[in-house]
Structure formats: structure tokens, C-alpha cells
Amino acid sequence: MIVDSLHNAERYYALLPAMRRIVEYMASTDIAQLEEGSYPIDGDLLYVNVANAGLRAEDEARLEVHNRYIDVQVVMDGVEGYGWRERRECADADDKFDTERDILFYRDAPQSIFRLHKGQFTMLFPEDAHAPLIGKGRVRKLIFKVKI
């Protein structure tokens, strides 16, 4: 997992080459005009989900993991909390892995909590179980999905 500001995004181009495409997309797109939904950038290799979501209490957030995609989640407005736990430390799966949606939920509690403010992002890899949408109020964010 990585947490940083978009001001430092270029530092991650070598680690995740798609990060350059993400930054270019954000610079060339009127993000404020995008409605909630999914937008292709490079087919299923890179796309973005635009979300305007209500936040919830920490104990209501469920950890989730993905196998085929890295998440790069960018907060555009609001403050969003995330729970995090090492995937290998998760033992209480909520159900079977949903291969179509590339997601599995866990009932395990997070090992730590962090918050993102406007203009900050987190890069979440398959080994990062994460519980997004923690807090009060609403958050507008971009969830870039980078195929592995």
C-alpha cells in the first residue's frame, strides 16, 4: 500500500507505469463533469470508476481484496478513511471470491486506519485488504483500476 499526494505522483511512474496515464487522464478530463459510473481509459487494462459515496462507521466497513487489479483511489472532495490489513492475515472470508467483479470481502478487523484528503491517493495491491468509505458525510473519488 502507498499513500501520497498527487503532487508526488510522478515518483511512482517507474513502480506503476499506468500512473503516468492516470495523471494524464486527470489533467485532460473535466473530472467535475463526470457523473458516477465507469469510464474506459485503455479497455480493461485501465479504467476509472467515479464515485460519490456516503461514508460509514469504522465497524461497518468491510475489508476487500482484488486479484486482477491494482486500485489507485484518489479523493477529489471530502475526507475518506480506510481500514487496512495484510491479506495474508485475513481469515474470515464473507463469501467466495467473485471472479466477475474481482472482489472478496472479509469480516476481519483492520490492523490500521488511515485517511485521505482532497488531492491525495492510495495505491492498493492484491496483498492489501482495504476497507474504504470510513468517516462521516460523503466523498467524491476516482477509483482507477489497473490490470495486473
Dist CA 99 CA 37 (whole Å): 20
Q: What is the pLDDT of residue 144?
A: 98
- Domains parsed from the chain with CATH numbers: 2-147 (2.60.120.370)
In this predicted model, what pLDDT tens digit does every residue of 6-44 receive, in sequence order?
A: 999 999 999 999 999 999 999 999 999 999 999 999 999
Band of residue 145 on the pLDDT scale cut at 50, 70, 90? very high
In this predicted model, what pLDDT tens digit does every residue of 43-56 receive, in sequence order?
A: 999 999 999 999 99
Single-letter amino acid code for the residue at 66: H
Quick one: cell of 145?
A: 483500476
Quick one: cell of 95?
A: 463469501
Q: What is the pLDDT of residue 53?
A: 97
Q: What is the pLDDT of residue 16?
A: 98
pTM of the model as a whole: 0.96
Other Cβ atoms less than 10 A from the Cβ of 1: the count is: 16
In this predicted model, what pLDDT tens digit does every residue of 73-114 receive, in sequence order?
A: 999 999 999 999 999 999 999 989 999 999 999 999 999 999
Other Cβ atoms less than 10 A from the Cβ of 100: the count is: 6
Dist CA 65 CA 22 (whole Å): 21
Residue pair 119/7 in contact (Cβ under 8 Å)? The answer is yes
